[in-house]
């Protein structure tokens, strides 16, 4: 589940905060109980001393079985007394114990060395929030993608109907080894919208998704280049883009041309292909324009291995504004 190190660290920090809050609140409730029943503190201390006595008995030799039986009986009696004092205040042991958000891992994130479901869900939630801060994820759903804007052009309507259906199926069946996709066509035809609809479905399935415009990616890569950060650093941009479950690169070709960025992009795409991790690229450039803009290595990776979908029609953003203006005029 490649959410990236920053998402993982944020999730672990949140679990630590939850655990500390639960344990602090439990200490306050316990101290309040002891204040009302001072004898309970002494009983609790005796219980701890009695439990520690078992190890001493085993190490001391002698009649171990008899001594252990006495400790067991004493421990049972102390336990009964402790519960009696709790009951006098209308409490049980659960009332003075930490109330962890996740009882399975006690807000540590792991159970028997394996990542707990709560940590997986928290990472997914944080990834969704982060992505939603950058793009209007809640508005970019399959349900919100309207084919009405394409009805005036039968060819575009048929093409976009097929693309919408294919994207829905891709999202429904998405796996960590799903094929990569290339969305290409003019501006305002829904490439970003459907990319983010797929992203949302993948996140809901528990996969780690990173979305970035290629322009933002280029800026990050150039900044790290001049910062001289190690390419082996797993927290750098390239490392995160290679390791995530689904990488979405939006608006390929809109970035400022750079040999360094082109080479870095080729390395990222190649690494993901070798790792069998899916990438979704959207671009306004056609195949010929891509070949002119990028190296043969980059173009061969994209054109040779990606499933290609050509978006047709008019800029729906212009049509949407016309409809909105007409609706306001009719008010």
- Quick one: pLDDT at residue 256? 81
Residue-level pLDDT at 134: 62
Structure tokens at 229: 């950060």
Q: 265-285: per-residue pLDDT in tens?
A: 888 999 999 999 999 999 999
- The pTM (predicted TM-score) of the whole model is 0.65
- 135-321 CATH: 3.40.50.300
60-95 pLDDT, tens digit per residue, is 766 778 888 889 999 999 999 999 999 999 999 999
- pLDDT of 44 reads 95
The pLDDT assigned to 94 comes to 95
Residue with tokens 């009983």: 43
The pLDDT score that the predictor gives to residue 232 is: 43
d(CA 214, CA 221): 10
Give the mean model confidence (pLDDT) for residues 228-257: 73
List the Cα angle 122/215/320 in 5-degree steps: 80
Bridging pattern class, strands 110-111 and 114-115:
antiparallel
Place of tokens 């990438």: 279
pLDDT in tens, 121-166: 898 778 767 765 666 667 789 999 999 888 889 999 999 999 999 9
Q: How confident is the model at residue 168 (pLDDT cuts 50, 70, 90)?
A: very high
Distance CA 46, CA 48 (A): 5
pLDDT at 329: 53
pLDDT of residue 104: 95
Q: How far apart are CA 194 and CA 164, in angstroms?
A: 8
- 223 confidence band (pLDDT: 50, 70, 90): confident
* Averaged pLDDT for residues 233-242: 64
- Give the helix ranges, DSSP H, for 37-89: 38-60, 64-88
CB 241 within 8 A of CB 285: no
Name the residue with higher pLDDT: 97 or 297. Answer: 97
Residue 174 in tokens: 């998405």
Dump strand ranges (E) for the chain. Answer: 110-111, 114-115, 181-185, 209-213, 246-252, 279-283, 307-311
From CA 119, how far away is CA 117, in angstroms rounded? Answer: 5
Q: What pLDDT was estimated at residue 228? A: 54
User: For residues 264 and 271, what is the distance between their CA atoms, to the nearest angstrom?
Assistant: 11
What's the confidence (pLDDT) of residue 235?
46
Is pLDDT at 193 greater than 60 in this prediction? yes
In the prediction, which pLDDT does 7 show? 81
Spatial separation of the C-alpha atoms in residues 237 and 213, rounded to whole Å: 13
Residue 231 has pLDDT above 60, yes or no: no
3-class SS of residue 309 = strand
Task: Flag whether pLDDT at 222 surpasses 90.
Answer: no
Per-residue pLDDT for 240 more than 80? no
Residue 233 pLDDT: 44
Distance CA 207, CA 174 (A): 9
pLDDT band at 312 (very low <50, low <70, confident <90, very high): very high
Closest CA to 290 of 184, 159, 181: 184
Average pLDDT score over the chain? 86
Q: What is the mean pLDDT of residues 299-322?
A: 81
Share of the chain above pLDDT 70, in %: 87
295, pLDDT greater than 60: yes
């Amino acid at each position: 589940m490649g959410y990236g190190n920053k998402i993982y660290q944020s999730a672990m920090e949140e679990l630590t905060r939850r655990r500390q809050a639960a344990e602090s609140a439990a200490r306050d409730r316990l101290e309040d109980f002891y204040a009302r029943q001072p004898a309970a503190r002494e009983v609790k201390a005796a219980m701890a001393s009695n439990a520690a006595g078992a190890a001493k008995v085993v190490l001391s030799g002698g009649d171990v079985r008899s001594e252990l039986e006495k400790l067991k009986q004493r421990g049972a009696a102390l336990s009964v007394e402790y519960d009696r004092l709790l009951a006098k205040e209308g409490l049980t042991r659960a009332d003075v114990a930490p109330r962890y958000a996740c009882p399975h891992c006690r807000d540590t994130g792991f159970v028997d060395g394996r990542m707990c479901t709560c940590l997986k869900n928290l990472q997914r939630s944080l990834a969704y929030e982060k992505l939603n801060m950058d793009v209007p994820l809640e508005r970019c759903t399959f349900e919100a993608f309207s084919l009405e804007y394409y009805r005036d052009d039968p060819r575009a309507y048929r093409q976009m109907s097929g693309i919408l259906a294919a994207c829905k199926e891709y999202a429904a069946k998405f796996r960590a080894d799903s094929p990569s996709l290339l969305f290409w066509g003019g501006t305002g035809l829904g490439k970003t919208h459907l990319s983010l609809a797929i992203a949302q479905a993948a996140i809901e399935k528990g996969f780690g998704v990173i979305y970035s415009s290629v322009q933002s990616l280029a800026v990050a890569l150039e900044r790290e280049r001049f910062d001289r950060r190690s390419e082996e650093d797993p927290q750098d941009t390239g490392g995160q883009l290679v390791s995530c479950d689904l990488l979405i690169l939006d608006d390929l070709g809109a970035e400022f041309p750079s040999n360094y960025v082109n080479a870095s992009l080729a390395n990222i795409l190649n690494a993901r292909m070798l790792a069998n991790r899916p990438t979704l690229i959207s671009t306004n450039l056609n195949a010929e324009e891509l070949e002119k803009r990028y190296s043969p290595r980059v173009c061969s990776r994209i054109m040779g291995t990606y499933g290609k979908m050509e978006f047709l029609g008019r800029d729906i953003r212009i049509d949407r504004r016309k409809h909105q203006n007409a609706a306001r005029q009719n008010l």
